[in-house]
Structure 1
Amino acid sequence: MKKIIALALAAAMVLSLTACSSSSNESSTTESSTAESSAVESSAAESSAATEASTAADGSVMTHEQFIAADVDSEVTVETYVQAKQSWWEDNGQGKATFYTQAEDGAYFLYEMPCTEDEYNQLVPGTKIKVTGYKSEWPGEIEITDATFEIEDGTWTAEPTDVTDLLGTDQLQDHMNELVSFKGMTVEASKDPDGKDVAYLYNYDGSGSEGDDLYFNVSYNGQTYSFTVESYLCDKDSDVYKAVENLKIGDTVDMEGFLYWYEGANPHITSVTVK
């Protein structure tokens, strides 16, 4: 009887040791699997970041998503289409102009891109260009500076995206520099230097005169926004400049323009229609 009990106890001990060994192996396997999974995920993230950095560094054409993800002051290369341009001018013998450009996946503001007057005249709306420069930021506005360009085959012009309902939301910034439209907004009063209510101002503080930038306030859903007619883009003889000069407080207007950014949305308006 004692032998039977002893044999039973021995068998139980063997089974117990086997179970402990199995549990230890399973724990070790799980820990190893988790570590390997984390290593793979980390490696994938590093690979993605390295790919984006390599894309910027070797001059490969970037998507708009890659451009937005790139570091400020890093070199960038994009393909895009001219949509509009400010006036050409010379700075110490170097011709330059600012361009509003857009591709199907996003828009790019090319600030003071060097170009000859002949090149400027070739860069009409719809022209496809390959641009290499540096990603810059100025009071919230994302732009490309110190750029060079090549004209490429192909043409494309953007249709305005209605962003009226995005006013006051974080999603509006996703459309920065794009050609956009605003519908059914109301002209609100601005204060001139004498404290009088007016429909628009020459310069942001009313210190200018005809030919300077126009600033005017418009509201939607109880919120008021400042819009601009950039005189280097649409001068005093343009239809939109004259239309803003004829606005009255309380007018309902539809507008189109480029979603420029200066400490918040500050669209450069190219078209105003009073309803």
Structure 2
Amino acid sequence: MIKGLWDVCDACGAMLYARSDDDTGIPNRICHECGYHLRRGSSDRIDLLLDPGTWAPLDEAMVAKDVLGFRDDEDYATRLVSYRKRSGLTDAVQTGLGEIMGTKIALGVMDFRFMGGSMGSVVGEKITRLVEHATRLELPLVIVCSSGGARMQEGTLSLMQMAKVSAALDVHQIQKGLLYIPILTNPTTGGITASFGMLGDIAMAEPMAYIAFAGGRVIQQTLRKKLPENFQTAEYCFEHGLVDLIVPGSLLRSALSDIFDLYAAAPIKRKASSGGFAPC
């Protein structure tokens, strides 16, 4: 197989021609045989979602430090340098402001290519600052989740980020009555699912995305029961109320724009007499 010319669908095994002039199939990272969404980088997702020329990144220079002196096969500091060179990113999330069909939003996009999209202190801090920025400017907030969970090389520091982001979202959503939409892509697992991935006013997901906390094999061995065939998929989560909408990548921009328009016209939260916001 010529590298860069062909790709293989992880779901159905179809051979996908990677070069095309139209906007269908593999250029959108969508299998034309089964509709499975292949993984894509954060920059590609930003281009997919935002109006051209509107992206204004935040906190680009923030980088992680090896405060624990962690080492497994190689030390954490060396691994960080390697992933920065390989991905062209400083860490596993890009944050910034942009517009979707004319509506200004705050956007965070996680990138699985950087250490499996794991959340360490930099990812948590960048997302927290993004939430706070959106709150100050009274903007809708969208976070595209793609992660294996907390970053083990940072120990408790990585676990702290779950509570920190969740606290910032509490101010954004509950106290200020502002909109937050997580988009769960393949995969969204671990500490992301246990925190901001499941805290949205409306939770969206890509078709067939793997969404979980613990792995299926761990659950099956613990319960000693056979799990459903589509367990921990976006479709299973939708059937059981964990996801509100399943939207193909090609329709994501228009779906988000419609939600923003509906929210602006008929907000689901109103200002309470105490000066905060409360559900209608």
Q: If the length of structure 1 is used for normalisation, what is the TM-score?
A: 0.23
* Structure showing the higher helix proportion among its residues: 2
Higher normalized strand content (fraction of residues) = 1
Which entry has the higher C-alpha Rg, 1 or 2?
1
TM-score, structure 2 as length reference: 0.23
